[in-house]
Chains A and B, each alone.
Chain A
Amino acid sequence: MIASARFNVFSIVYGVAYMGLFFWNELYHTALFRYYPVLSTFSREDRSLENAGPAILWYSWLFGAAVISAVVTVVVPRSVAERLGQAWIWAVPVALFVVIFVYERRWFY
């Protein structure tokens, strides 16, 4: 039970990191990497639509969030993980879902 309290840390950080990477991309148009399905290749370059087709960034947000949350989970002291309030575990993702709804309503206007 003590060791697995870190699972809660991973879950909280993962969602925050994912949304952080998404907004980072929205603001600065940069990503860890992109996947170009037409070329079937990963690249760190932002290639043009005419030359490379559409890019998929979702994989990079998932991968980046996994790495960040894994590192934080290992770094956070066990005592802190155990003291983490239960409400954080569900309140943070609920807040993230609200952020998603608010931000993505741009598609409906």
Chain B
Amino acid sequence: MIQVMLVLHVLVGAALLGALTHQSFSVARKPSAPARSFVDRFRGVNSPTFTNVIVWLFAVNVLVGGLLYPRYRVDVRPTLEDLQLRAANGIFEMKEHFAAVALGLLPAYWLAWRPPLSVDRADTRKYLTWILAFTAWWSFVVGELLNNIKGMFP
């Protein structure tokens, strides 16, 4: 069951990364000409349509992460301590704090992206999207590092 949840956690995280990265690029700068380059096409998505999916994926992934956490606390963290990998513990501590703060931002994020998109909320949309994207990337990379840490530090 743990293995199934871990795979689910990774898959939902990957989907979240894709959606948030698209949206983050799209709010960075408005395209002034027809999209030609890969980056322009990557950025040229219909951003508001991602919002509800991102909220659900984020909430579900925090929930699945929360269900996996006891196993981490009992099995993984003592291993990190035995291996004296303090930095690995530290980046996971940061992950849990970032995820918690970002979880609380979801209502404001959803509101900022609710149509009609007003100009006075443009900065809020942009920065909240970037904060969520940063959190998703940090969490994903840290999760993968810790999952593979025995192979990286034999």
Contact = CB atoms under 8 A, between A and B. Distances in A.
Contacts of A4: 111, 114
Given A7-B111, A56-B73, A58-B69, A18 B104 contact: yes
B104 A108 contact: no
Contact of A7 (B97, B110, B131): B110
A87 B101 CA distance: 17
Interface size class of A (residues with CB under 8 A): 35 or more
A14 interface: yes
B90 A54 contact: no
B124 A86 contact: yes
Nearest to A17: B104
Given A19-B97, A101-B94, A54 B108 contact: no
A71 B100 CA distance: 18
Contacts of B94: 100-101, 104
Closest 4 A-B residue pairs measured CB to CB?
A: A107-B90, A14-B104, A37-B70, A11-B108
A101 B135 CA distance: 13
A24 interface: no
Interface string A14-35: 1100110010000000000001
Interface size classification for chain B: 35 or more
B141 to A, nearest CB: 15
A10 B109 CA distance: 11
Interface of A: 4-5, 7-8, 10-15, 18-19, 22, 35, 37-38, 53-54, 56, 58-59, 61-62, 65, 69, 86-87, 89-90, 93-94, 96-97, 100-101, 104-108
B117 to A, nearest CB: 13
Contacts of A8: 107-108, 111
Interface of B: 66, 69-71, 73-74, 77-78, 86-87, 89-91, 93-94, 96-98, 100-112, 114, 120-121, 123-124, 127-128, 131, 134
Given A58-B100, A100-B97, A11 B121 contact: no
Given A4-B111, A8-B111, A108-B90, A37 B73 contact: yes
Nearest to A73: B107
A93 B105 contact: yes
A2 to B, nearest CB: 12
